[in-house]
Amino acid sequence: MAFTFPKDSTNKAGAVRATTDGNNFYVPAVIFGPDGMNAISTTNPAPTRSMSVNTELVANATLSWDGIKLFDTLPVPVTMASAIFIKIDNSNQSKDLTVTVELEVTTGVWLQWYDAGGYEISFTVAGSSKRVYGGFPPFSKYLRARLKFTAAKAPITGTHTIVQVQEVA
């Protein structure tokens, strides 16, 4: 009942073969019959281009702190990528920040994002740190998204936090 994948000339099963231009590849395809068990066709379809996505959505945005405000927000474009990674350079100031994600569900209405289990999508960025967080699911279903940075005590006047958001497929 098990199916054996087609093998290439080096006897590798299900091998991907690069084309002469180095960009396209063939993916062995298997078409099963109505019983779902027996293969009726094993083919290599037309070449397909690798569609890897690695796009910067927010390029090193600076959040400036004034010694009074406890939070700031940063808009993030919606995306169809499979994951979002967020680089946060909080090394210029010493206060921890809680980062939450808010989604604009209708014009002007922002709601905090919770996962299917009811857990808030949030994480803490330590003061004086520089890290990459992710991968988070994309924000593709709503008008816009934003990251909200909240401090328990106002960061010192003149300090800043730098944020970069990257999508990866």
65 and 33 fall within a common domain: no
Q: Return the half-sphere exposure (C-beta side, CA atoms, 13 A cut-off) of residue 54.
A: 2
37 and 91 fall within a common domain: no
Q: What's residue 9's pLDDT?
A: 58
18 and 91 fall within a common domain: no
**Model pTM score:** 0.67
CA distances from 144 to 41, 87, 132, 136, 138 (A): 44, 19, 22, 15, 11
Place of tokens 């988070």: 136
Confidence of residue 149 (pLDDT cuts 50, 70, 90): very high
61 and 31 fall within a common domain: no
20 and 64 fall within a common domain: no
- Comparing 34 with 41, the larger pLDDT belongs to 34
124 and 159 fall within a common domain: yes
104 and 145 fall within a common domain: yes
Q: What's residue 16's pLDDT?
A: 46
* Structural domains of the chain, count: 2
Q: Is the pLDDT of residue 86 over 70?
A: yes
The domain of 21 spans 1-49
Q: What's residue 52's pLDDT?
A: 53
